[in-house]
Amino acid sequence: MPARSSRRAPRALAALLIFGVTIILLGGRLAWLQLDQGPALAAAARAQQDRQLQTVPTRGEILDRSGHVLADNQMAESLYALPPDVTDAPAEAATIAQITGLPETGVQQALTSKAPWAWVAHRLPRAQYKALLKKNLPGLFFQQEAQRVYPAGDLAASVLGFTGSGGKGLDGVEYYFNQQLAGTPGSIVEAVDAYGNPLPQAPLKYTPPKNGLNVELTLDAQLQYLAQTLLTAAVAKNHAKSGIALAMDTRTGAILAMANVPGFNPNDWQAVPPSAWRNPIVESDVQPGSAFKPVVAAASIDSGQANPNTRYPDPTGHITIQGATIYNWNFIGLGLPTMTEGLEQSDNVVFSQVAMDLGVSRFYQYFDRFGLNRPTGVDLPGEASSVAPSPATVYPLELATMGFGQTLAVTPLQLLTAEAAIANGGVLMWPHIEKALIGPNGQVVQTVQPRVVRRVVSQATAQAVTQMMEAVVYKGLGQPAQVPGYLVAGKTGTAQIPSPKGGYIPNSYVVSFIGFAPANNPRLAVLVMVTQPQGANAFGSTVAGPVFAQLIRTGLHDLGVPPDQPIPAATPTASSGG
């Protein structure tokens, strides 16, 4: 007997050990399910017991600097499906597709989705909504959703952009500030049984959506309207291809107007080709021509290479460099003019010599200082940058032509931002279009403060170049840009348009006028460019100058800038060119 008992003891001990290990493993598994997988399993269980409908927030408005609404919302009916309640998906999809024009396969995918609910169509036209409502299709329901509208039609369209399916911003301010404008969706959660039927007496769980913020821009709607109106007239009168106008507060970098012609209506943005949506002021570069000469003058004076009274020989109206001949716009020489006189008459021979005397290293040093070698960082999408030869490979002819704004290309925004620095005493400001973010209840959430980028030239240099630009307006080619009651500083521009095959397109130009006022205490800088105007007298002074003058006059009034000292009497010389 003792011998049999001793044989059973190891078996019992082994069984006990196996049982213990099993208990430990089961306990570990249970702990893992509880601690690690518990939240996910609980969520899955809730999903089988709950049906959730997302509620859409109201998109924030876009406002001008005075609170005028540029982008708003109006309510429209949107269609969604509860797939478990759809009784005949193919038939219902065919009906919906016939009424709305949506692809039948896409509609059927929504109706047969494994999700508890699915959007079928956003923001239906009124007639489609009424037609579907009469059908009373099982499992189909309507919810009001805000539809984006632009009350002023094409006003600032390329700046504002537009929204697409689901109200998402696709371009312009709508795209750049989409996160702030969009808000956060809410939800309605309904308890259902295993068959998807609502549980009686079960309360609905409602999480309200968080509406989007309003974006207040620095744009002045009245000045923007004037810019588009004047630009449209100038393009039509001169049978031009297109035009742009840009206005900026010189002290803050705030963009007050940004107009592009031709434009488009963002309420019907799909009716035009994608190329029409572009904002060339920000997204395209252009050879600035003589409008670039103030930057070259500033670099020469600030570096100590020359001064406004330094003289440059121009006896014939042309100069030959590396076997190529550079001509003045009128083929006339000025003899031995000063740099100021060369700017007044937009003399290419003079500024070729200014650039060559400056040298490659210093030319690019100031090109960089003025922020022309990189994007400005403006708060708009798609910003382009400048195009210029590499400093290591620049040869004398290229340097000479860059002296009068050819060979290199900059965006219109870069050009005005750089010359606004001259108006601002030599201090470069960050250009921006956001003024503030406003909450749904009117509370200010964020205010944009002016941002200094750097000092680019001394105050003395800025003052000297300003006086040279005054001479352009009152003694030189820029006389059409005079504004009664205000002292104006400016510069004409005429640039050849490069050919894709190399060289330049014959008789094809971009004409411009750039400047600021009041010259003795600048507040407003404006750039006007018109592409491919037709006619023998289609110059920057005659085509862009008058538009510039009217924008300066209205813009200073809107800024509350009173007229300054009486302007000097004009002394007519040449009447066009530059």
Domain that holds residue 519: 221-558
pTM: 0.84
In a domain? residue 434 = yes
Among the listed residues 390, 400, 393, the one whose alpha carbon sits nearest the alpha carbon of residue 325: 400
- 468 in the same domain as 321: yes
Instruction: Calculate the average pLDDT of the chain.
Output: 89
53 vs 45: which has the higher pLDDT: 53
Q: Are residues 174 and 248 in the same domain?
A: no
Domain boundary residue among 163, 185, 207?
185
Q: Which of 540, 519, 516, 537 is nearest to 528 (CA)?
A: 540
CB 281 within 8 A of CB 245: no
Domain count, the chain: 2
CATH number, domain of 330, equals: 3.40.710.10
pLDDT in tens, 220-255: 999 999 999 999 999 999 999 999 999 999 999 999
On whether residue 48 sits in a domain, the answer given is: no
Q: Is residue 6 part of a domain?
A: no
One-letter amino acid for residue 314 of the chain: D
The residue assigned the tokens 């862009």 is 544
Given 113, 158, 290, 300, which residue is catalytic? 290
Q: Are residues 379 and 508 in the same domain?
A: yes
Asked if the structure places residue 549 within a domain, the reply is yes
Q: What is the DSSP string of 25-85?
A: HHHHHHHHHHHTSHHHHHHHHHHHHEEEEEEPPPPPPEE-TT--EEEEEEEEEEEEE-GGG
Is residue 198 domain-resident? Answer: no
**DSSP class per residue in 383-430:** ----B---GGG--HHHHHHHTTT-S-BB-HHHHHHHHHHHHTTTEEE-
CA 498 to centroid of chain Cα atoms: 25
pLDDT per residue over 117-169, tens digit each? 788 998 888 899 999 999 999 999 998 877 899 999 999 999 999 998 778 99
Claim to verify: residue 179 and residue 227 sit in the same structural domain: no
CA end-to-end span of the chain: 125
Same domain, 434 and 533: yes
| 3-state secondary structure (DSSP) of residue 223 | helix
| Rounded Cα distance, 524 and 503, in Å | 36
- Let me know whether 281 and 332 are in one domain: yes
Is residue 396 domain-shared with residue 253, that is, in the same domain? Answer: yes
**Domain for residue 210, yes or no?**
no
Q: Which two tokens stand for residue 167?
A: 């109200």
Distance of CA 282 to the CA centre of its chain: 6
Nearest-angstrom CA–CA distance, 181 and 170? 12
Classify 217 as helix, strand or coil.
strand
Residue 343: partners with Cβ closer than 8 Å, 6 or more residues away: 293, 294, 297, 351, 468, 469, 471, 472, 476, 491
Within this chain, do residues 281 and 343 fall inside the same structural domain, yes or no? yes
Task: Answer whether the bond into residue 262 is a cis peptide, omega within 30°.
Answer: yes
Clarify whether residues 258 and 180 are in a common domain: no
- Active site includes 5? no
Instruction: Check whether residue 428 and residue 538 sit in a common domain.
Output: yes
Instruction: State percent of the chain over pLDDT 90.
Output: 75
Instruction: Answer whether residue 225 is part of any domain.
Output: yes
User: CA 296 to CA 422: how far, in whole Å?
Assistant: 12
pLDDT tens digit sequence for 59-79: 999 999 999 999 999 888 889
Q: How high is the pLDDT of residue 492?
A: 97
Sole residue written with tokens 């609905």: 204
In a domain, 436, yes or no: yes
| Domain termination residue (choose one: 159, 185, 211) | 185
Q: What CATH number does residue 92 fall under?
A: 3.90.1310.10
- Cα 105 to Cα 95, 96, 133, distances in angstroms: 12, 11, 21
Give the pLDDT band of residue 5 (cuts 50, 70, 90): very low
Q: Which of 185, 211, 237 is the last residue of a domain?
A: 185
Q: Are residues 141 and 265 in the same domain?
A: no
In the predicted structure, residue 365 carries a pLDDT above the cut 90: yes
Do 378 and 453 lie in one domain? The reply is yes
